[in-house]
Structure 1
Amino acid sequence: MMQQPIHGAIDYAELQQHGLAPSQIYDFSSNVNPLGTPNFIRATLANVDLAHYPDRQCLALRAALANHHACEPAQLLIGNGSNELIHLIARALLQANDYVVVIEPTFGEYAYASSLVGAQLIRYQASAETDFQVDVVACCRLIAQYRPRLVWLCNPNNPTGSYLPAQAIERLQAACAAVQGYLVLDLAYADLVVGDRGSGIGDRETEIGDWESAIGVEKSLSSPQSPAPNHYTIYLYSLTKSYALAGLRLGYVVAEPNIITALRHWQPQWSVNSLAQAAGLAIMANPTWLAQNLGQWWTWSDQLRVELGQLGLRVLPSCLPFFLVEVQNAAQTRSALLQHACLVRDCSSFGLPSFIRIAPRQPHQNQRLLAAWRTLCSPQF
């Protein structure tokens, strides 16, 4: 059995060992909005009655999301973060010895959840030499050869920030449909992509618009686009990154009703607490907030990329505000920066021992990271 994946964010036991308090740490390891939780969500949560059980079916939130996605509530399942939903998908749809294709490097829970069911993992690995761009033709060959029950794809991808445009997604959808397998399309970061940020993928604004039209992805909650139904595609969404709700956990799946019914069978009652449901409804009632504030997030990210590059570091192109930085030894770099109260993501667990992932924070925090790196000032990092 695989070991549980390693994730970013603060490890409180580790900080205890180093004699550090969580309040001292500048966390660049979590891909969470550096603007923090919006005030309209905080105000909503203050009025939630904690004495009552949550709505076990999330009826109000499902209705709001169904209206947003122009689908039926029966096509939606709300989860305690997308992590729970990943495990529900694996449990509900996989059997022992089913083939599963994982397009890597990517979020470790896809492979882990599949392995817990006894599935056989077929791994496609993108390389640093091509800035982790995915060879869709090679992926389609794997799908035709192994006829997998599931194909896991994070797009835009974590941790690499790579992106597959509409035509590539359509090819993967067609390949999955041909073998009656499901493409699980994790869109946790889709609404963070704006304009051309030098990722080397061309006119991303145009491509994203084409992608929305093709597969029904909304760039932000203010978008009027409706999802295009696809029987063999399962769309996975997260609200924790964009709205800084990692402590609440909130995600959802859009899929055919029979898939939702199968997932619901495995989900515990009251899985989504009242605070998370209230936060989701507040987000739906304020659909333009992210679009209005996303530019600030990107400005801080662009500034940090430039300044890291000025230190002589190789910063990889990314269509997302977070990005990879090449180092000689990721574990050593993480450890050295932690001594300066800066936590970065060692990407060794992604199979990338010479890369760390940086999620930008606000300018004064970013300057703390830059100062720490200047202090290291050693070629071995």
Structure 2
Amino acid sequence: MTRLCDLAPSNIRSIAPYQPGKPITELAREMGLQPEQIIKLASNENPLGVSPKAYEAMQDALEEIARYPDGNSFALRDSVCRKFGLNPGQLVFGNGSNDILELAARAFLTPGTEAIYSQHAFAVYALVTQATGATGVTVPAKDFGHDLDAMLAAVTGKTRIIFIANPNNPTGTLLGKQALRQFLGQVPKNVLVVLDEAYDEYLDADLKSEAIGWLNDFENLLISRTLSKAYGLAGLRVGFGIAAQEIADLMNRVRQPFNVNSVAQAAAVAALADEEFVERTRALNQAGMVQITKALQELGLSFIPSFGNFVSFKVNNAAVVYQQLLQRGIILRPVAAYEMPDYLRVSIGLFSENSRFIDVLGQILQESKTTS
């Protein structure tokens, strides 16, 4: 008799599930460590935690937790519109920005169509593409970033979506605004360009995205944003997409009706208004980036210059070093699955967390020299 699971579509059965950063509690169990002994620099989370204003809003929202959330996210929609100068119909909200990526795939991809994304780009692009039965087309990277000319050349009559992360995760590379706008002008109008800007808040003012201002010129543009990074709401999962109203409407048709919970909505409204917290986050990240990259240079390790809140560095026996760091209570992110087997990615943490990582990494490298 044929097993039930064997009847599932082959594209679903062959998906390799996304591997998140190792949780602190899991490492504590595995290594017999106390959770307070462990620092996690693996998932690009905000080391400052959450905005005090957002925390207060969460507490207030708990009083109505027995009721369903606003399925249209009215208050959050209004906050985003006012902050970015948008019309309500241009928005779609998601359970994190991953949800936005999946909604785009579900709305526009079918078996027999194609989606394009770069080598070393966010793994979810391939996952949401495969889940629809569409074909993913990986374009080789250029200096660990997107090769826009090659991506444009990969477009065929079957192409429906092009995914672009800017800054890119896990490499941290950034596309110039002029090059990106020129690229958009060359993409066929019947191909959706999904511009994933999860790390835009970490950029200096002159580097920040201008893509929202391009929406009137490019009706095939979808911008994805998240509150999981600089806004510190990773555990609540809030993201939003900005696009032409027709595109947002299609995505909302396949969206779950209550995909953003009421506590998350309340926290997001408060977080978006707390610009001082985001600025403190950005300043801490810049200082931490200097701290870590300077130390990597002193240790003789090369790294990819990053515009995010993380940096990927090259180290011999990366998988072994990763395990040795885990044994000493430090969680990084291996990126071998991104075709970068010799690299590890470290998120920027508090000064003390960065210092401990640097010290322990130095000890491990010194020990490897002694035993070699």
| TM-score over 0.5 for the pair | yes
Q: Is the 8 A contact 1:32 1:243 kept in 2?
A: no
* CA shift in 2, pair 1:9/1:77, >3 Å: farther
Cα displacement (A) at 1:12? 4.5
2:124 is equivalent to residue 109 of structure 1:
yes
Tell me the C-alpha RMSD between the 2 structures: 2.1
Residue in 2 aligned with 1:165? Answer: 176
Cα displacement (A) at 1:293? 4.1
One-letter code aligned to 2:131: L
One-letter code aligned to 2:345: R
2:212 is equivalent to residue 216 of structure 1:
yes
Alignment of 1:6-25 (within 5 A): 6-10=19-23, 12-13=25-26, 15-25=28-38
* CA shift in 2, pair 1:9/1:176, >3 Å: farther
Sequence identity of aligned pairs in percent? 28
Decide which of 167, 179, 204 is 1:156's aligned counterpart.
Answer: 167
Aligned residues: 354
Residue in 2 aligned with 1:4? Answer: 17
Residue in 2 aligned with 1:32? Answer: 45
SS in 1 for 2:320: helix
Q: Is the 8 A contact 1:238 1:250 kept in 2?
A: yes
Alignment of 1:287-306 (within 5 A): 287-306=275-294
Whole-angstrom CA distance in 2 between matches of 1:148 and 1:227: 21
Alignment of 1:334-349 (within 5 A): 334-349=322-337
Whole-angstrom CA distance in 2 between matches of 1:147 and 1:97: 7
Q: Is the 8 A contact 1:6 1:349 kept in 2?
A: no
Cα distance per residue 1:163-211 (max 9 Å; x no partner): 1111221233123235x100000010112112xxxxxxxxxx64x26x5
One-letter code aligned to 2:188: A
Alignment of 1:272-351 (within 5 A): 272-351=260-339
Tell me the TM-score normalised to structure 1 length: 0.87
2:203 is equivalent to residue 193 of structure 1:
yes
SS in 2 for 1:320: coil
Decide which of 78, 97, 107 is 2:112's aligned counterpart.
Answer: 97
2:72 is equivalent to residue 57 of structure 1:
yes
Alignment of 1:351-370 (within 5 A): 351-370=339-358
SS in 1 for 2:275: coil
Cα displacement (A) at 1:95? 0.7
Alignment of 1:239-250 (within 5 A): 239-250=227-238
Q: Is the 8 A contact 2:92 2:241 kept in 1?
A: yes
Q: Is the 8 A contact 1:35 1:297 kept in 2?
A: no
Decide which of 177, 180, 183 is 2:193's aligned counterpart.
Answer: 183
SS in 2 for 1:163: coil
Q: Is the 8 A contact 1:100 1:120 kept in 2?
A: yes
Whole-angstrom CA distance in 2 between matches of 1:329 and 1:146: 43
Tell me the TM-score normalised to structure 2 length: 0.89
Whole-angstrom CA distance in 1 between matches of 2:358 and 2:23: 19
Whole-angstrom CA distance in 2 between matches of 1:157 and 1:82: 14
Q: Is the 8 A contact 1:105 1:159 kept in 2?
A: yes
Shifted more, 152-161 versus 308-317: the winner is 308-317
2:138 is equivalent to residue 142 of structure 1:
no
